[in-house]
Amino acid sequence: MSGAARSVSLALGGSLVAILVLAAIAGPLIVRADPNAIDLANSLAAPSAGHPFGCDQLGRDVLARVLWGARLSLFVAIVVVIASAAIGTLIGVSAGLASERIDNLIMRGVDIVLAFPGILLAIALAAILGPGIRDLVIALVAMGWTGYARIVRGEVLTLREREYVVAARTLGARPPRLVLRHLLPGVAGPLAVQATFGIGGIIGAEAALSFLGLGVMPPTPSWGNMLDAGRAFLLVAPHLTTAPGLAIGISILGFNLMGDGIAQLIGIRN
Amino acid sequence: MIGYFARRLAAIVPVAIGVATLTFLIIHIVPGDPVTAMLGESAAPADIVGMRHRLGLDRPILVQYGAFLKGLAEGDLGQSIVYRRPVSRIIAERYPATLELAAAGMLVALVVALPLGFIAGSRPGGAGDIASMGFAIAGISIPHIYLGPLLMILFSLDLRWLPLTGRGGLAHLLLPAITLGTALAAILARMLRQSLVAVRESDYIRTAVSKGLTARAALIRHGLRNSLTSVVTLVGLQIGGLLSGALITEVIFSWPGIGRLLISAIGLRDYPLVEGCVLAFAMTYVVVNLLTDVVYGLIDPRVRYA
Amino acid sequence: MKLQKVTTNLLRAAGALRIAAVCVAFIACGTPRAIPPGTIQVDLEDTPTSTDPRFSTSAASSRVNELIFSSLVRPAGSGAFVGQLAESFERRGDTQIVFHLRHGVRFSDGKELTAGDVKYTFDSILDPKLNSPKRGALQHLKSIDAPDLYTIVMTTDRPYAPAAELGSQAIVPAATPPPAISEQIAPPGAGPFRMVSFSRDESVVLERNPYFPAAPNSPQKIVFKIVPDPTVRALELIEGVCDLSENNIQPEVLPSLATKPQLSIIKSAGTGYRYIAFNFRHDPRLRDLRVRRAIAYSIDRRAIVNSMMRGTARIASGLLAPENWAYSADVSTYPYDPAKARELLEQAGYPVLKNGMRNLRLVFKTTPEQLRLATALQAMLKDVGIELDIRSNEFATFYDDTLRGNFDLVSMYWVGVNDPNHYYMIFDSKMTPPRGYNRGYYSNPEMDRLLESAQITFDFDDRRKLYARVQQIAADDLPYVSLWWQDNVVVLNRSLQGFVPYPNGSLKSLATVTLTSPAGAEQAN
């Protein structure tokens, strides 16, 4: 692939993400409809000039809800990815640099979390913390960090046998310094790819939790709970899911292109 | 290598104990208890107390945990509170359905992902790449909860090709398997593409091409094997996601597996049954991961099991 | 050259597609749906729990059990009881009620149903060792005797006017052991069907009781299939695999189903009652009648019923529907009046703050199924300045919260209310959990006195007057805000004729419907 193509994916992905962020910030200022104002007479109304994406089951404007939902869904996705990646990296690096015994211990811990069905955790957190955004973020991070940990550990194990790292170590570089200087740049590529893919997974998981009644509480709109609510009316009002579905698709496309671009940029540097 | 697998097999034990303990902790912290869930509101208070005693739920939590671990060590998962039958028997009846669904979902994912990923990765930027990328984005954008009914409307109502729900022959399996496998197919296809693109630019493919092989032939001969290892690793990583997806898919398609069983057991606070289902999920995850390691070794004999 | 390659690829792809299509078609044809004539499928949203009527309490269990078992008496539409297995029944003094059984009634195993079976059924529920969840409902039944094969005498521990309701327990044959496992098929009953298989969370299959007279062309076999997803239930009706669904299709989908030529929809008045309960225990704010009234005035029931529910409910004035013999229309009602609600809130000391809301934030506990109703209520209360904090949990957590009084407001549903004595269970101050259903800890001495004297008042008109007063107080005091009585909505295949819905949602008509063409024949080709 040519260098131009690389910058194209990065530019395209970056601008899609930028558009989404802009829509999340500015959209609600432009589309003035109240996303939570119900208008029961307009229940499941088809798209019209006043409501370009129609109205949901309570007569709320779907466009306004998608724009407001962008704030929540993007916020949750980004927070969860950053927190998961941070925790996962920390644990993965520790495991990768630690002695074999500690590494084993950590990896069994990772296995336990990976093998554990997330739904049980989500139900428990919803019951203990009360359902809502906090519960959603904690549940998703608690299940999400393991993938990063495994990737980072694997990369660290490979990298630490590389000549330049071995050389640095023999020159007396201390482990934290080693990690910062040599290891992290090496794992950044795989991490970026995992993270940008992760965002799609998180939005899907949010929809699944809504399906189980554990997502964001009303009236707050999110793409996941809109998709779940709209699903019930697939037969009579498919337009309910068009807008959130498109929004999810565009965001995933954007983040993926961005991830590609980042991965390739890092690939060149190495 | 045999030593390596022996160690891996031995490592299943701490994972099982860990998962079981985590489950025990969570299910006992969550409000609600099996006796009120089962007896409902017209029960006499004395009956609630009596039943709680009979089930041993009035013992201190640590004593209950001890008894549970002891049972586990003896391979006894206990009696389901709701079904009043051994948990292991109920799981044994329901597990094949889940395994069938998960395996079919995985098969769908591989059958779709391998050609798509290869087409995309062998000529990045081409029409095939853009099309399969489009599929991957769509596939990962549509959650199971939405894809399931969508497929039902298309294939059962409009085309009348496939039955809506339930478990039966191959015809019953197709829609749930596609529902379950699509997201994974998207992820795998993307990963394969990514890795093929990287391999394409590596020196040995360039060398092969310069020696007269077409790029595609060189990729197949030299690159594919390399890329498949990363696909296999990813499959292992995604098993957890696949099983969670199976849980949702089972609810939508009225599929009688342990996913639905787990959801209903959680609802009824049937502690032993929840434990059993979670352990079944966890063991599936662990064993499939072990298998992916074996496959990894077969694809790439250079891998040393250390 | 290049073009040629593309065409070849396309052709190859088309060929592959065709092969795939043939495969799919082959698979589809390879498994034709073999539906024997006379079989109908009914979709349930929930699995029946126990198949033994002495132990089952869930709504799904009763839907199925009503087709298998008979009881001494059954509720008539008015909430009064009429004989079923009992030819007649009468009171003997203040504490006894005597039932005279019909002769020649047979269980599905051919044995005659006699007083011994009835006595056995009740005795096993009362046996403390068996922990039957129904023992609480029989708390006033002191003893049950069978002086001869066709007579049953029940003695209560005190004068007890609603005693006839005790006879509504389904009867199993004498010596039926308690079910050893929960998936055991139901014991023989004296109803129109018998159970032939039960698989929890999957299906229940019933076949005709050979000893129960069947109308010609009525169903020989009923398959109850458990389909948890509402969208999928609607799809099953359209596709034709499901023949009948009751009260479990989303109202918004009904107009679309009505356009399908093979489906018809029967809507009839129901007695299921939806309400909002207040918690009086912890929070002084809800003890203020003005706040409760403000909430009642701020809910636009008409709009919710007309749009969200597509007209499938009647605005309720209280627990008892107009069909009930004790119903009284002479009660306060709370038509939608946000201005009045605001005025009441001002009076109660909740002025509007800068953000347009009042300092009144209430926790509303609910389940995922009721989230939309919760959202509508939230928006309506917000309109008068009350903030409703919705917390949805799966049912077991929700139920635990309601039993512990862990809520400010909660919306629930009563179904199958017959005798007005139900008011005693929900509003008497002694009936707080775990004894009864007074989960909001409502307490009013006058209400207690009325409810307790109604239990020992045998004169029909006197009882009716007492309950009229009870209904007035309930409407004035507002321990519950009444929302609506939900209609029974049955969506069924046109091949089923003569289905008559019961006000309480019973599916007993399945025994008497006629099948014009074998159900399911259409898609078998």
List pLDDT tens digits, range A74-105: 999 999 999 999 999 999 988 988 888 899 88
- For chain A, say whether C332 makes contact (Cβ under 8 Å): no
The answer to whether residues B136 and B215 touch, using CB atoms and an 8 Å cutoff, is: no
Chain B residues touching residue A224 (CB < 8 angstroms): 143
- Alpha carbons B143 and C8: distance in angstroms, whole number: 35
CA distances from A249 to B36, B143, B173, C324 (A): 44, 11, 27, 54
The pLDDT score that the predictor gives to residue C30 is 37
Residue showing tokens 């069924």? C492
> Which among C252, C256, C367 has the least Cβ separation from residue A57?
C252
Do the domain assignments include residue C10?
Answer: no
Which helix (H) or strand (E) covers residue B195, if one does? helix B170-200
Tell me which chain C residues have a C-beta less than 8 angstroms from the C-beta of B50: 128, 131
B229 contacts B300 by C-beta, under 8 angstroms: yes
Q: What pLDDT does A5 receive?
A: 54
User: Residue C137 is which amino acid?
Assistant: A
> Among B208, B234, B231, which residue's Cα sits nearest to residue B220?
B208
Helices within A98-221 (DSSP H only): 100-115, 118-129, 133-159, 163-170, 175-178, 184-211
Give the side-chain half-sphere CA count within 13 A for B246.
30
Q: Are residues C337 and C463 in the same domain?
A: yes
Contact of B67 with chain A, judged by CB distance below 8 Å, is answered with: no
* Contact with chain B for residue A1, Cβ under 8 A: yes
Q: Could you tell me if residue C306 is inside a domain?
A: yes
CB < 8 Å to C253, chain B: none
Residue C67 in contact with residue C193, Cβ under 8 Å?
yes
Across the beta sheet with C86-92, what order do the strands follow? C86-92, C96-101, C151-156, C141-148
B301 touches chain A (CB under 8 A): no
Closest Cα to residue A181, out of A195, A193, A164?
A: A164
Q: State the pTM of this model.
A: 0.87
Chain A: give the shortest CA distance to residue C320, in Å: 28
Q: What is the pLDDT of residue C520?
A: 44
Domain-embedded: residue C238: yes
Give the count of beta carbons closer than 10 Å to the beta carbon of residue A46: 11
User: What are the backbone dihedrals phi and psi of residue B253, each rounded to the nearest 5 degrees, phi first?
Assistant: -95, 15
Contact: C230, A232; criterion CB under 8 Å: yes
CB contact under 8 A, C308 and A57: yes
CB atoms within 10 A of CB B130: 12
- Chains near A with 3+ CB pairs less than 8 A apart are B, C
- How far apart, in whole angstroms, are the C-alpha atoms of residue B146 and residue C177? 46
Contact residues for C14 (Cβ-Cβ < 8 A; gap 6+): none
Residue A13 one-letter amino acid: G
8 Å CB contact of A123 and C394: yes
- How many CB atoms neighbour CB A185 within 10 A? 13
Say if CB A116 and CB B282 are below 8 A apart: yes
Decide if C483 contacts C316 (C-beta within 8 A): yes
**Fold held by B88-299:** MetI-like fold (1.10.3720)
Contact C260, C238 (CB under 8 A): yes
Question: Quick one: C389 and C437 in the same domain?
Answer: yes
Report the largest interatomic distance among the alpha carbons of chain B, rounded to a whole angstrom: 86
Residues C245, C309, single domain; the answer is no
**pLDDT (average), residues A135-159:** 86
Residue C19, domain member (yes or no): no
- Residue of C253, C307, C371 with shortest CB distance to A40: C307
Euclidean distance between CA atoms A15 and C406, whole angstroms: 48
C409, containing H or E segment: strand C409-414
- With tokens 């029909």, the residue in question is C460
C231–A231 CB contact, under 8 Å: yes
Are both C296 and C384 inside the same structural domain? Answer: yes
Which pLDDT value is given to residue A176?
A: 67
CB C287 within 8 A of CB C370: no
CA distance linking residue C273 with residue C418, whole number of Å: 12
- Secondary structure of C381-408 in HEC code, one letter for each residue: HHHCCCEEEEEECCHHHHHHHHHCCCCC
Look at residues A265, A240, A267 and name the one whose alpha carbon lies nearest to residue A8: A265
Are the Cβ atoms of A124 and B197 closer than 8 angstroms? no
Low-confidence ranges of chain B (pLDDT < 70): 1, 42, 203-204, 300-306
The two structure tokens encoding residue A122 = 């989500």
Looking at residue C25, its pLDDT comes to 41
Buried b (16+ CB within 10 A) or exposed e, B234-264: bbbbbbbbbbbbbbbbbbbbbbbbbbbbbbb
Residue range A231-246, pLDDT digits in tens: 888 888 888 888 888 8
Cβ-defined contact of C392 to A213 (cutoff 8 Å): yes
Last residue within a domain, chosen from C112, C135, C168: C168
Whether C468 and C516 map to the same domain: the answer is: no
Question: What is the nearest CA distance from A257 to chain B, expressed in angstroms?
Answer: 10
ipTM, two decimals: 0.84
- Cis before A219 (ω within 30): yes
In the three-class reduction of DSSP (H, G, I as helix; E, B as strand; rest coil), residue B125 is classed as coil
Q: Which of C115, C145, C168 is the last residue of a domain?
A: C168
Q: Say whether pLDDT at A255 is over 50.
A: yes
C367 at interface of B, judged by CB pairs closer than 8 A = no
Query: Could you give the dihedral angle defined by the CA atoms of residues B219, B221, B227 and B233, in that order, rounded to the nearest 10 degrees?
Result: 160
Instruction: Identify the CATH number of the domain in which residue C77 sits.
Output: 3.90.76.10
**Residue range of the domain that includes C247:** 36-50+180-266+493-523
Amino acid identity, residue C479?
P
Could you tell me if C86 and C44 lie in one domain? no
On chain C, the residues whose CB falls within 8 A of the CB of A236 are 252-253, 255-256
Cβ B187 vs Cβ B238: under 8 Å: yes
Q: How far is CA A110 from CA A107, A147, B6, B294, in A?
A: 5, 9, 20, 20
Distance CA A102, CA A156 (A): 15
Instruction: Name the minimum distance, in Å, from the CA of C349 to any CA of chain A.
Output: 26
Identify the domain boundary among C168, C192, C223.
Answer: C168
Every domain of chain B and the residues it spans: 2-73, 88-299
Buried/exposed C135-151: b ≥16 CB within 10 Å, e otherwise: bbbbebbeebebeeebb
Side chain identity, residue C164: A
| Cis peptide bond N-terminal to C434, omega within 30 | yes
| CA nearest neighbour of B251 among C226, A263, C502, C219 | C226
Residues C257 and C306 in one domain: no
Q: How far is CA A107 from CA A96, B302, C465, in A?
A: 10, 23, 73
Residues C301 and C319 in one domain: yes
Instruction: Please state whether B107 falls in left (phi above 0), alpha (psi between -120 and 50) or beta.
Output: alpha
Is residue C252 within 8 angstroms of chain A, CB to CB?
A: yes
Specify the number of domains making up chain C.
3
| C-alpha separations of B260 from B77, B245, B252, C229 in Å | 19, 12, 10, 12
Chain A residues with CB-CB distance to B22 below 8 A: 112, 116
Q: Is B204 on the interface with A (CB under 8 A)?
A: no
Q: CB–CB of A115 and B150 under 8 A?
A: no
CB within 8 Å: A117 and B140: no
C448, HSE (Cβ side, Cα atoms, 13 Å): 11
Backbone angles phi, psi at A87, to 5 degrees: -65, -45
Eight-state DSSP code of residue B58: T
Mutate which: A119, A191, A193, A248, vs B, most B CBs within 10 A = A119
Of C253, C308, C393, the CB nearest to A127: C393
Return d(Cα C160, Cα C155) in angstroms, integer. 10
The answer to whether the Cβ–Cβ distance between A130 and C374 falls below 8 Å is no
Q: Which CATH number does the domain housing residue C216 bear?
A: 3.40.190.10
Does residue C333 sit in the same domain as residue C426?
Answer: yes
Residues C145 and C197 in one domain: no
Neighbours of chain C (3+ CB pairs under 8 A): A, B
The verdict on C104 and C244 lying in the same domain is no
pLDDT for B102-133, tens place per residue? 999 999 999 999 999 888 888 887 888 888 88
Q: Which DSSP helix (H) or strand (E) runs through C195?
A: strand C193-199
DSSP assignment of C303-362, as one string?
HIIIIITTT-EEE-SSSS-TTSTT----S------HHHHHHHHHHTT--B-TTS-BS-EE
Chain C residue closest in CA terms to A34: C379
Nearest CA distance, A67 vs chain C (angstrom): 19
Asked whether residue C17 is domain-assigned, the answer is no
Do C262 and C277 lie in a common domain? Answer: no
Q: Give the amino acid at C169.
A: Q
Residue C27: per-residue pLDDT: 43
Contacts of residue B238, defined as CB under 8 A and 6 or more positions apart, other chains included, come to: B184, B187, B188
* Half-sphere exposure (Cβ direction) of B75: Cα atoms closer than 13 Å: 1
Amino acid occupying residue C285: R
Distance CA C216, CA C221 (A): 13
pLDDT (tens digit, 0 to 9) for every residue of chain C, 525 residues total?
333 343 334 334 444 444 444 444 444 443 434 456 789 999 999 888 888 999 888 888 989 999 999 999 999 888 899 999 999 999 999 999 999 999 999 999 999 999 999 999 999 999 988 888 888 889 899 999 999 999 999 999 999 999 999 999 999 999 999 887 777 899 999 999 999 999 888 899 999 999 998 888 899 999 999 998 888 999 999 999 999 999 999 999 999 999 999 999 999 999 999 999 999 997 889 999 999 999 999 999 999 999 889 999 999 999 999 999 999 999 999 999 999 999 999 999 999 999 989 999 999 999 888 888 999 999 999 999 999 999 988 888 898 888 888 999 999 999 889 999 999 999 999 999 888 899 999 999 999 999 999 999 999 999 999 999 999 999 999 999 999 999 999 999 999 999 999 888 899 999 999 998 644 444 433
